[in-house]
Structure 1
Amino acid sequence: MQATAFTYSPETRAGSVLLDDGTPLPFDAAAFDAGGLRLLRPGQRVRIETEGQGADRRVVLVTLQTF
């Protein structure tokens, strides 16, 4: 699934993405580290993988979207 990076803290390696419908979805350091990224800037398009449904939905992987 694709999203847009919304927030990111280099200190905690956590942040949030905006889904294409505008819904914010947070991610933790484990999801960031799983993607092998070193830095993320707000506005970048990313590919995410999620687990769970509804309120239990969480991001488990964040990588840059490449074409």
Structure 2
Amino acid sequence: MQATAYTYDAGTRTGSVLLDDGTPVSFGAAAFDAGGLRLLRPGQRVRIETAGPKDAPSITLVTLQTF
């Protein structure tokens, strides 16, 4: 699934993304580390993987979207 980086805290490696429908979803350090990224800037397009119910997804991976 694709999303847009919304917030990111380099100190804790946590943040949030906006889904294409505008819904904000937070991610933890484990999801950020799983993607192998060093930095994330607000506005960047990212690819995410989620687990759990659609009405309350949990992000398990955040990586850059490449074309």
TM-score bin (small chain): over 0.9
Q: Which of structure 1's runs of 4+ aligned residues deviate more than 6 A?
A: none
Q: How do residues 35-46 of structure 1 correspond to structure 2 at under 5 angstroms?
A: 35-46=35-46
Name 1:20's counterpart in structure 2.
20
Give the % identical residues.
77
- For structure 2, which runs of at least 5 residues remain unmatched after alignment? none
CA–CA distance in structure 1, aligned partners of residues 44 and 3 of structure 2: 9
- Number of aligned pairs? 66
What SS does the aligned partner of 2:11 have?
coil
Question: How much is the aligned-residue C-alpha RMSD, in angstroms?
Answer: 0.5
Q: Which has the higher helix share?
A: 1
Deviation of residue 48 (structure 1)? Answer: 0.1
